[in-house]
Amino acid sequence: MDLFDQQEGKDKEPQRKSSPLAARMRPVSLDEIVGQEHILGPGKLLRRAIEADRMGSIILYGSPGCGKTSLAEVIAGATARAFERSSGVMSNVAILRGLLQAAQQRKLFRGQETILFIDEIHRFNKAQQDVLLPYVEDGSITLIGATTHNPSFFINTPLVSRSQIFQLNPLTEEAVVTLLERAIVSERGLGPMRVRADAEALRHLARVCEGDARRALSALEIAALTTDPDADGFVMITRETAEESIQKKRVAYDHDEDEHHDTISAFIKSVRGSDPDAALYWLAKMIEAGEDPRFIARRLIILASEDVGNADPRGLTVAVSALQAVDFVGMPEGRITLAQVVTYLATAPKSNASYLAIDSALQDVRSGRTLPVPDHLKSRPVVKPEKGYQYAHDHEGHFVEQEYVPTSKIYYRPEGMGYEETILKRLDVWRTRLKKKEAQ
């Protein structure tokens, strides 16, 4: 131990005492980690790798407060390797290169490997992430990246391919209650304050925090610090105190990143899947988070053609009208219009026949299947009048057997859902007549 190590040891204790409760209660061993049994349970790969200090590069992916940084701290205490910390918020390329080169020198001259933990790694741009790649590849560092964003979208593919991704789940209410109870009696938590809490108070904190342990512990600390001790010297935290210490949770919605894309995806798939209740829930989430109602309406217009189509042609009219109405009326009243179109489309018969038809035709055109326009359909026909274009309205049923494209390939195949049943019967008659004409 050198002078700096001694000074660091002296500084840590007062810092720890003045740290927020959530920081003081970080687990110091794998056994103290609550939840995440799917990756840290007995015999699981990650647990075995940590205990054997044989861990490769990993990316920890999960919502805020689920334990990504806590797990990294446990690894720091368990490993014999050097452990360095960085952050996507604070570090730049120069700082990063300094850490990486020091790790390279440490391995070269001391034979000691280095684990580099980078919190919020998704905040690094592509150039910063690229700096890490050669050092991960040659084993100079073992990377632990922590992110709340889907690594498939926000971490460079080469870095992802050299790392194992472990997804951490939001903590259950039971797990959060366990952490709160532990914090109340722990000496490094609220133990010295002689805190007592109603079961309902802890349950309320666990429920409102929605799996975010940091938020629950912060609320518990606020409740304890703002409540006067009773006559016996105990700080009593009741349900009412807990409600005051943790206000309504802001809807997790980042507008241009994971939560935005995931929510609109769930919304559209719920409407497509004919579940109006699920669709209304996701709609409510987007409205509460402040999503642009015109964006929602535009997506519903696309869905009306893509997923409802001619099974109910009125769906497109309803969706377009909703966009106009929301733009004219505004919010919050526009929510009613959006709910109307959502429930209409969710309960409408479904068909993606038009969607499949245009994509099939486009594929033929793009692959070189460019067919000539038949002479009788050209703006200036070059064929004899008796072989020219026949005006459909001059014939019975407003239909005439003539060629409109030099191929017999069928693109539009209505499935008989809703109004498409009528369309299908009509097409069957027309296509049968054409086949008979061609056979003559």
Q: Give me the pLDDT at residue 432, please.
A: 83
pLDDT tier at 376, thresholds 50, 70, 90 = confident
Domain contains 356 = no
Does one domain contain both 78 and 126?
yes
Residue 268 has pLDDT above 50, yes or no: yes
What pLDDT was estimated at residue 4? 37
Q: Is the pLDDT of residue 400 over 80?
A: no
> CA quadruple 68, 73, 74, 78: dihedral positive or negative?
positive
Answer yes or no: is pLDDT of 98 > 60: yes
pLDDT of residue 2: 42
Determine the Cα–Cα distance for residues 196 and 175; give it in Å rounded to an integer.
19
**Is residue 135 located within the same domain as residue 40?**
yes
**Which range, of 103-117, 242-256, 401-415, averages the lowest pLDDT?**
242-256
Share of the chain above pLDDT 90, in %: 45
CATH code of the domain containing 316: 1.20.272.10
User: Is 223 within the bounds of a domain?
Assistant: yes
Question: According to the model, what pLDDT value does residue 306 have?
Answer: 94
Which of 168, 184, 219 corresponds to the end of one domain?
168
| Whether residues 318 and 210 fall in one domain | no
1 belongs to a structural domain:
no
222 and 297, same structural domain?
A: no
Of 150-164, 212-226, 247-261, 420-434, least confident by mean pLDDT is 247-261
pLDDT at 415: 84
Rg (CA), the chain: 32
Per the structure, the complete domain to which residue 195 belongs is given by 173-245
Which pLDDT band holds residue 224 (cuts at 50, 70, 90)?
very high
User: Is 366 part of a structural domain of the chain?
Assistant: no
Average pLDDT value for residue range 135-156: 89
Q: 363 in a domain, yes or no?
A: no
Give the CA distances from residue 177 to residues 22, 151, 201, 235, 249, in Å, rounded to whole numbers and listed in that order.
Answer: 14, 30, 10, 18, 18
User: How confident is residue 114, by pLDDT bands cut at 50, 70 and 90?
Assistant: very high
Residues 400 and 310 in one domain: no
Q: Give the C-alpha separation, 403 to 388, whole Å.
A: 11
In a domain, 140, yes or no: yes
User: Are 93 and 143 members of one domain?
Assistant: yes
| Phi, psi of 144, rounded to the nearest 5 degrees | -120, 110
Domain C-terminal end among 222, 245, 268: 245
In this structure, the answer to whether residues 231 and 307 fall within a common structural domain is no
pTM of the model: 0.60
Question: By C-alpha distance, which of 86, 93, 83, 103 is closest to 131?
Answer: 93
Same domain, 68 and 89: yes
- Judge whether 18 lies within some domain: no
Over residues 284-333, the pLDDT tens digits come to 998 888 888 999 999 999 999 999 999 999 999 999 999 999 988 888 88
Question: Is a pLDDT exceeding 50 seen at residue 1?
Answer: no
- Average pLDDT taken over every residue of the chain: 86
Let me know if residue 124 belongs to a domain. yes
- 237 and 287 housed in the same domain: no
Burial of 406 (0-12, 13-18, 19+ CB in 10 A): exposed
**End residue of a domain, out of 224, 245, 266:** 245
Same domain, 136 and 179: no
Domain tally for the chain?
4
Residue 76: give its domain's CATH number: 3.40.50.300
Tell me: do 67 and 129 sit in the same domain.
Answer: yes
Is the confidence at residue 383, as pLDDT, over 70?
A: no
**CATH code at 230?**
1.10.8.60
Q: Express as a percent the part of the chain with pLDDT over 70.
A: 91
What is the per-residue pLDDT for 17?
A: 59
Same domain, 47 and 145: yes
C-alpha to C-alpha distance for 234 and 28, rounded to whole angstroms: 28
Q: Distances in Å between the alpha carbon of 183 and those of 22, 159, 188?
A: 9, 37, 8
